[in-house]
Amino acid sequence: MARSTPRQMLLMACLLVIAALSSVAPAKGQGVISDLSKRDVPIEWNFTGTQILIFGAIEASADDKSIADVIIVVTGPRRTILARRKSRVAGIWINTVTMPFKKVPGYYSIVSSRPLAKIASNITLAQLGIGLDALAHHLAIENDTPNATNLGIFSKAVIRILRNEGLYREEPDGVKIIDKSLFRATIGLPANVPVGEFHADIYLFRDGSLVSAQSQPLHIEKQGLERFVYTLAFEYPMLYGIVAVMLAVLAGLAASAVFKRD
């Protein structure tokens, strides 16, 4: 945090206010208070990805020596996808095996204050469904044919591909904890982020066990021209096609009219 813009200064001021409020509030348990820099992300024609700041305060613990950790999981809308594997058939590479996966998050970002393995045990994380390994396991369980061979390889491939597309992310040091009481993290949303209802789950761990959790909604939606085109294409597809043809005819006629003059 060497560079601090006026905007960041403002955010820090907000964080301090929240921290002040939280210390005044009755200390029932070791809770977490959080908020997002924006809850509605519009995708317009020039959208090239954006960042969301998640920040908040951790309530002070009675035991001053305990280590507090924060894990933030942002999950996008879940869809059914088909995973396909290519094999060489008669010299060319052809999709030969298809496996459907249900409830696959279109986006999954996990940021934490330390590497996950240092925050809690694998069993704890798996029970909470935190982490890409837990997600791969979950995808395999949701499959209709849980005993299919290669299921593990396929679910890992799903995660690998979405990771390469920037839709699945892991940042083991993405959450900054300031003075044991404030935390902040930036979540990157790439240009290809799916639209729909997202949620950010903020988990507070102390000495390896979960003490508090909070879920915050996040809404990503196409806006303006982007929304108009998309809605027309999927809800009124024939009208969309006719409009596309009319635009092409107009463009062609306009072009010949313009270039005929010279």
Which residues of the chain form contacts with another protein (CB under 8 A)? 43-48, 79-88, 91-95, 98, 100, 154, 157-158, 160-162, 164, 191-192, 222, 225-226, 229-230, 233-234, 237-238, 240-245, 247-249, 251-253, 255-256, 259
Per the listing, tokens 């024939």 go with 238
Task: Rank residues 81 and 140 by Cβ distance to another protein and give the closer one.
Answer: 81
From first CA to last CA, the distance across the chain in angstroms is 59
- Cβ 221 to another protein shortest distance, Å: 13
- Cβ 194 to another protein shortest distance, Å: 9
Task: Rank residues 168 and 203 by Cβ distance to another protein and give the closer one.
Answer: 168
Quote the CA–CA distance of 28 and 9 in Å, as a whole number: 30
- Cβ 248 to another protein shortest distance, Å: 4
Question: Which secondary-structure segment (H or E) carries 247?
Answer: helix 237-260
Task: Rank residues 4 and 98 by Cβ distance to another protein and give the closer one.
Answer: 98
- Cβ 223 to another protein shortest distance, Å: 11
Task: Rank residues 11 and 243 by Cβ distance to another protein and give the closer one.
Answer: 243
- Cβ 136 to another protein shortest distance, Å: 13
Task: Rank residues 38 and 85 by Cβ distance to another protein and give the closer one.
Answer: 85
Quote the CA–CA distance of 70 and 130 in Å, as a whole number: 12
